[in-house]
Amino acid sequence: MISVNGNSWREIEVNKRLVQKFKQDFKFSENISKLLINRDYNQEEIHSLNNTINFKNPFTNDPDFIKSKKLILDYIKNKKKILIIGDYDVDGSVSTSMLIKFFQNINHSYDFYIPDRTSDGYGLSENLLEKLKNRLTDLVIVVDSGSKSHKAINYLNDLKIKSIIIDHHEISKPFPKSTVLINPKKTSLNYNQINLCASALVYFLIDILKKELNLDISTKLNLFLTALATICDVMPLRGLNRNIIIKAFKEYNYKNSYFINYLLTKIKKRNSLEYNDFGYLIGPILNSGGRLNKSNLPVNLITSSNKTEIKKISDNLINLNNIRKDIEKKIINEINEKDLILIKNKILIIKDLSIPEGLIGIIASRFLEKFNKTAIVITQSGNLLKGSARSNSEINIGSVINNGVMNKILDIGGGHQMAAGFSLKKNNFKKFKKYLSNYKILNSIKPNYYISKISSSAINLEFIKDMNKLSPFGNSNENPVFLIENLKIYKPRTINESHIFCLLKDDNKKIYDAIAFNVMNTKIKDYLLNYKNKIKVLCKFNLSGQKNNRINIHIVDIIT
């Protein structure tokens, strides 16, 4: 089936006998059984669906973690100051904040620096270290970057400064010659380990340090912050990542965190905190600091214990996020689709030298949502071009960018499967386009899949709670899409000039609330606002309301 947006849709195909076996062996519904088979859940993941979540530190005996522990303990013992260099996104801010809180708890001297996106650029560089020369300590801990920072690490080595890199981005040999390099992608083939964000790696390192020092301090907030970073950094929500998030929500009462509570109050979040709120509410607010050149604000917020300061920083970040939304909307509306560069019907390039550097990533996300294609947004950064890419599961954009750096088409770059950033010389732009055109990408149109066709009469609380057994939903564990036929649209209205709310009525005249997000520049908008005949809706479900008992339909696509 082809949708009004031009997307191909199919029902997932699984072995019916295997579905019956899952239903019989595990007492799951047919839809849950189909999803578990289709997504290749292993026995440990299946067990976690109906049992208490628990996990051990997977890095207790890891050589790099042991080396890092010994090095940090040596500096603690000798009371030597440690410098932390983080990153300006949520993962980098949380990683940095957890280390700061750890050093605060043991009263150890530290300093930290979060690079400015515009003046410093991404990651650890020689220029950044030269800028920080008077603040450099005998040990520098780099979090959420560094896996490609050969020259910067050589700079530190020349100064006899020891370094620990804690990173999760794509990496290739030769590795930077840091004193210790923690990056599971370096050697591990373990799915759980190679898909952890930097905050998770820091969480487990602090856990090892805490046990070694026999500290009686709670790490529940750390786990909660790690869950926040995991969701915001679009990590796969399977296995250990999923367990981290579920355990964090179960064990930590977010109302004990003044900054989280205050943010939710200010944005008028009335019902209880949900998994999606990390990615759609809290994450964008924290990220706005880095996007609009106030990169220290998130770390200052997370690490502060002063309520007056927390209120002031929170208000500032909320205001920056509102400014970001306005700028983003204006830029997207002004981009002419005729100017988009399409490569192999898989990759969109949006080159606009007027876009602020801090917004290219989120604009790439918007074009990914709209066209369901990997999107690369490129703007000007001094004498260079700077790009940010967001991808679907079809293309590992981190590998594409890393390969471009290795082939000297890009000056610098890095990332993971779903997101990447890079810089290149202006006269290399044509080479970059040619490189993407020649890159081995499957040319077949990848269909989108829905789990099954259901009757509208099947939509009830029990049905949705059954689906939510697989939550939290996100990368590699998407909220399942269903097909519902014979619905009519009533009373559509736009919300915040971005979304459309409407009522959907079935043949039995039952009415459902429905919303389509970020569709104002798509054909879905035209159909929701103007189409009078019956439609087929591809949709997801979620619950809202103070008692979590209000059913919401999220319209993904439409078929006429």
pLDDT at position 445? 53
Of these ranges, 127-141, 399-413, 532-546, the one predicted with the greatest mean pLDDT is 127-141
Query: Counting beta carbons within 10 angstroms of the beta carbon of residue 335, is it exposed (0 to 12), middle (13 to 18) or buried (19 or more)?
Result: middle
Lowest mean pLDDT among 191-200, 365-374, 399-408, 417-426: 365-374
Q: Which token pair is 181?
A: 């390099």
- For residues 513 and 498, the model is more confident at 513
Q: Which token pair is 109?
A: 């001297």
* Residues 237, 229: Cα–Cα separation, whole Å: 12
* Residues 215, 105: Cα–Cα separation, whole Å: 9
* Terminal-residue alpha carbon distance, the chain: 10
- For residues 547 and 75, the model is more confident at 75
Cβ-contact 341, 348 below 8 angstroms: yes
Which H/E stretch holds residue 141?
strand 139-143
* Residues 77, 81: Cα–Cα separation, whole Å: 11
Number of Cβ atoms within 10 Å of the Cβ of 261: 16
Q: Which token pair is 560?
A: 């006429």
Lowest mean pLDDT among 149-153, 188-192, 444-448, 480-484: 444-448
The dihedral formed by the CA atoms of 181, 182, 188 and 191, expressed in degrees to the nearest 10: -150
- What is the Cα gyration radius of the chain? 24
Q: Which token pair is 431?
A: 């080479």
pLDDT at position 446? 66
Per-residue pLDDT band for 270 (boundaries 50, 70, 90) equals confident
pLDDT at position 441? 63
Lowest mean pLDDT among 137-146, 169-178, 387-396: 387-396
3-state secondary structure of 341: strand
Cβ-contact 228, 237 below 8 angstroms: no
Lowest mean pLDDT among 95-99, 151-155, 264-268, 319-323: 264-268
The beta strand positions in 284-418, using DSSP E, are 341-343, 347-351, 374-381, 384-390, 412-415
Of these ranges, 156-170, 258-272, 520-534, the one predicted with the greatest mean pLDDT is 156-170
Number of Cβ atoms within 10 Å of the Cβ of 85: 30
Q: Tell me, what amino acid is at 437?
A: S
pLDDT at position 333? 83
β-strand partners of 349: 341, 376
User: What structural domains and CATH numbers belong to the chain?
Assistant: 63-216 (3.90.1640.30), 335-438 (3.10.310.30), 447-559 (2.40.50.140)
Per-residue pLDDT band for 443 (boundaries 50, 70, 90) equals very low
Angle formed by the axes of helices 90-105 and 283-291, nearest 10°:
100
Q: Buried b vs exposed e over 491-503: b needs ≥16 C-beta within 10 Å?
A: ebeeeeebbbbbe
Provide mean pLDDT across the span 451-474: 94
Q: Is the model's pLDDT at 444 over the cut of 60?
A: no
Q: Which token pair is 148?
A: 């490609």
Q: Is the model's pLDDT at 171 over the cut of 50?
A: yes
Residue labelled with tokens 């909220």 = 479
Cβ-contact 9, 559 below 8 angstroms: yes
pLDDT at position 237? 96
Total residue count of the chain as it appears in this document: 560
List pLDDT tens digits, range 38-88. Answer: 999 999 999 999 888 889 999 999 999 999 999 999 999 999 999 999 999
- For residues 135 and 123, the model is more confident at 135
pLDDT at position 78? 96
3-state secondary structure of 293: coil
- Please state, rounded to an integer, the average pLDDT across all residues of the chain: 92
β-strand partners of 516: 500
Q: Where are the alpha helices (DSSP H) in 388-470?
A: 397-406, 429-438, 461-467
Q: Kindly report each contact of residues 234-237 with a partner whose C-beta sits within 8 Å and lies 24 or more positions away, as own/partner.
A: 234/418, 234/419, 234/474, 234/475, 235/195, 235/196, 235/197, 235/474, 235/475, 236/195, 236/474, 236/475, 236/476, 236/477, 237/472, 237/473, 237/474, 237/475, 237/476, 237/477
Cβ-contact 494, 527 below 8 angstroms: no
- For residues 362 and 84, the model is more confident at 84
Cβ-contact 93, 87 below 8 angstroms: yes
Residue labelled with tokens 């840091």 = 178
